Amino acid sequence: MAFVRGKVLAWHEMSSMDKATVIGIQEGGLYKLKGQPEKALLHNEVSSSELWHRRLAHLHYRALPILSKMVTGLPELQIQNEGVCKGCALGKNSRKKFPNSNNKAKGILDIIHSDVCGKMSTPAIGNFLYYVTFIDDYSRKTWIYMLKSKDEVFDKFVEFKASVENLFGRKIKVERTDNGGEYTSNEFKDFCKGEGIKRELITPYTPQQNGIAERKNRSIVEAAKAMIHDQNLPMHLWVEASKTVVYVQNRSPHKILGNMTPEEAFTGKKPDLSKLRIFGCPMYIHVSSNKRSKWDPLGRKGTFVGYSMTSKGYIIYISGQRKIETSRNVTFDEETAFRKSKESHTDEDKEEQEAPPVAPITNSTQEEYVLEEQEESDRHESPVDPPEEEKVSRKRPAWLRDTLQEAEGHSAPSGSSREKKRPKKFSSYSTLMCHIIDSEPSTFEEANKLQVWRDSMMEEYQSIMKNDV
Ligand SMILES: [Zn+2]
């Protein structure tokens, strides 16, 4: 690629500059790409499906053609051989299934599910260590709020309630959570009583009751990890990654909604995805002429880390200053991001040494341990042999185990036997580990048909007996 006399020229790496085509032109101080940005990427033989898989928080390839019909701004996409995706390989666990309550709400805000995720082992910018999610049962639309401590959950619920109720003129009727201390304070109880909100506190070890909130948090964690690892980003960006996942998943297929996204189910409008870009891709922020001197560069470099909720701008990470800012006037370099995502696993040992320890995130409640143990049963069905260390300690999922190891000061040193084994299963993992968001059986009968679920019910029962609960 070259910038010549106000034009952006691109040519295939096997050809020469005289075969170049014009893919962009200069406008003011910036070069603007012509047409769809993915067209430029396609010069390097990137398929649209591969590109949108990454823009959509590593959404399963099977969901892409479905989504094309449910939103605007997305080209017709085919299911294609996805090849290697580093994010999926390093960020996602195998698909786990457990059933959901079949008492679906009849209307928006009738039932709100909520759960806290944390404590994270890596504080984010702003010193956040947890997040809380609120999920509307009817539409499955999710809201995420960052927390420095769990006792902020009440304030965030009040904030969430005011914003959604004012927007839609409807009242929250039921709030369904686990019985963690952050939900059971007198302050919380009194507030709900005063507002006429029925509290449904879930008994531990009954995943079918609070499965929606727990599954959503796990889905967010996995996709956020995939996006962070995909671009070798620092782990403290888990806040921006998690918010981006929620934004994208609200605009992605959901099994119980049929041909509608949560966003459309909630607002009645089809979302427009044309502004989505690969999380973590390099970007250039245009600096207006009144803010720079004659010899200053026309733009500054940053990293794309999300979509502003309050403006049409993009959220940008300035790594040298460990700072987050928002701008609309930007140019993306998704080609570099894509190349990084496709980097051969032969580079993995080097990258892993540079990367921060795996998994910034833990779930805090006891019942989540039980859920994860159930889910490990799915792994037995995987054709991929787990590394030796995983065979020894199956009780916890890899990402949780790593986090706990890190928290306990036992994180595996770089280049350990486990890390070196990972690349061997790279391509098969990339196929196995992507999944349709929140795919879930809608009735108990449907769930009961799943051998996986029967197995996990048995595991759960054994776990309960073992813990003498
Ligand atoms: Zn992926």
Report the CATH number at residue 264: 3.30.420.10
Question: Into how many domains does the chain fold?
Answer: 1
Q: Is residue 68 part of a domain?
A: yes
Ligand 1 centroid from CA 87, angstroms? 5
Q: Is residue 76 part of a domain?
A: yes
The pLDDT, as a whole number, for residue 327 is 94
d(CA 395, CA 418): 17
Phi-psi region of 110 (alpha: psi -120 to 50; beta: other; left: phi over 0): alpha
The pLDDT, as a whole number, for residue 103 is 58
Ligand 1 centroid from CA 64, angstroms? 12
| For residue 324, pLDDT beyond 60 | yes
Q: Is residue 41 part of a domain?
A: yes
Question: What is the extent of the structural domain holding 424?
Answer: 36-281+333-469
Write the pLDDT tens digit of every residue in 20-78. Answer: 666 677 766 666 666 555 555 544 456 788 899 999 999 988 899 999 999 999 998 88
The pLDDT, as a whole number, for residue 209 is 61
The pLDDT, as a whole number, for residue 312 is 84
The pLDDT, as a whole number, for residue 431 is 28
105 compared with 137, residue with greater pLDDT: 137
Indicate the pLDDT class of residue 86, thresholds 50, 70 and 90. confident
Ligand 1 centroid from CA 165, angstroms? 36
d(CA 286, CA 53): 28
Q: Is residue 31 part of a domain?
A: no
Average pLDDT over residues 438-451: 40
Q: Is residue 345 part of a domain?
A: yes
> Which region among 223-232, 360-369, 440-449 has the lowest average model confidence (pLDDT)?
360-369
- What percent of the chain stands above pLDDT 90? 43
Q: Is residue 30 part of a domain?
A: no
Ligand 1 centroid from CA 434, angstroms? 6
Indicate the pLDDT class of residue 19, thresholds 50, 70 and 90. low
For residues 230-239, one letter each, b for 16 or more C-beta atoms within 10 angstroms of the residue's C-beta and e for the rest, the string is: bbbbbbbbbb
Q: Is residue 7 part of a domain?
A: no
Indicate the pLDDT class of residue 81, thresholds 50, 70 and 90. low
> Which region among 138-152, 250-264, 269-283, 293-307 has the lowest average model confidence (pLDDT)?
293-307
Ligand 1 centroid from CA 341, angstroms? 9
> Which region among 8-17, 170-179, 287-296, 391-400 has the lowest average model confidence (pLDDT)?
391-400
Compute the residue count for the chain: 469
| For residue 385, pLDDT beyond 50 | no
d(CA 108, CA 249): 18
Q: Is residue 297 part of a domain?
A: no
130-136 and 111-118: which strand pairing? antiparallel
Write the pLDDT tens digit of every residue in 204-252. Answer: 666 566 678 988 999 999 999 999 999 999 999 999 999 999 999 999 9
Ligand 1 centroid from CA 335, angstroms? 16
Ligand 1 centroid from CA 49, angstroms? 11
For residue 257, what are the contacts with CB-CB under 8 A and spacing of at least 6? 139, 140, 265
Write the pLDDT tens digit of every residue in 335-359. Answer: 999 888 887 544 444 433 333 333 3
Ligand 1 centroid from CA 173, angstroms? 38
pLDDT averaged over every residue in the chain: 72
> CA dist 225 to 237, 279, 399, 445, Å?
10, 11, 9, 33
> CA dist 71 to 38, 47, 93, 268, 453, Å?
18, 20, 28, 12, 32
